[in-house]
Every structure is written in structure tokens, then in C-alpha cells.
């Protein structure tokens, strides 16, 4: 995979591994609302292990599947 930065029209910024212009592999997604997700991605979705940090600093750890948080492993 290749490392790249992707910024979408809403101002969300992804820095990390990409494949076929999609977030795939390890990266960090900073949302325009201040949320940060650091972890694994597959086809532009949170998929695998990661940490989500809300704008207020609350952290959610665990495993994601196709963008949905599935809990801790």
C-alpha cells in the first residue's frame, strides 16, 4: 500500500495507508467535528483495531467491523 493524505469536501482528513484511492490499512482520520480515529481501515471504513477520541476527549477502544464499533477484544 501507499501512504497518502485525503481531505474530503466536508473537511475530514485521513493520513495513512491507501489502496485504489481508498483508506485501507493503518491510518488516522480527523473529522471536521474534532473526532479522531486512529487504527485500521478497509475500503474507507473503520475495520479492525483502533481508538476513537471524541471532541470532549472521551476515548473508545476496541474492534470495528465495516465502520461499526463491536467492542473490546
The pLDDT profile of the chain, 73 residues, written as one tens digit per residue, is 799 999 999 999 999 999 998 999 999 999 999 999 999 999 999 999 999 999 999 999 999 999 999 998 6
| Per-residue confidence (pLDDT) for residue 73, from 0 to 100 | 62
Q: Given the C-alpha cell 474534532, which residue does it identify?
A: 34
Tell which residue, 43, 6, 59, has the closest CA to residue 51. Answer: 59
Residue 43 and residue 22: Cα distance in Å, rounded?
Answer: 6
Measure the CA angle with vertex 46, ends 60 and 37; round to 5°: 45
| Per-residue confidence (pLDDT) for residue 17, from 0 to 100 | 98
Backbone angles phi, psi at 63, to 5 degrees: -115, 140
Q: Are 14 and 6 in contact (CB under 8 A)?
A: yes
Amino acid at each position: 500500500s501507499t501512504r497518502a493524505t485525503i481531505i474530503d469536501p466536508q473537511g475530514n482528513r485521513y493520513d495513512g495507508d491507501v489502496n485504489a484511492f481508498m483508506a485501507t490499512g493503518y491510518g488516522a482520520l480527523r473529522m471536521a467535528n474534532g473526532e479522531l480515529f486512529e487504527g485500521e481501515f478497509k475500503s474507507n471504513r473503520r475495520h479492525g483495531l483502533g481508538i476513537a477520541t471524541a471532541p470532549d476527549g472521551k476515548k473508545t477502544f476496541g474492534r470495528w467491523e465495516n465502520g461499526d464499533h463491536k467492542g473490546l477484544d
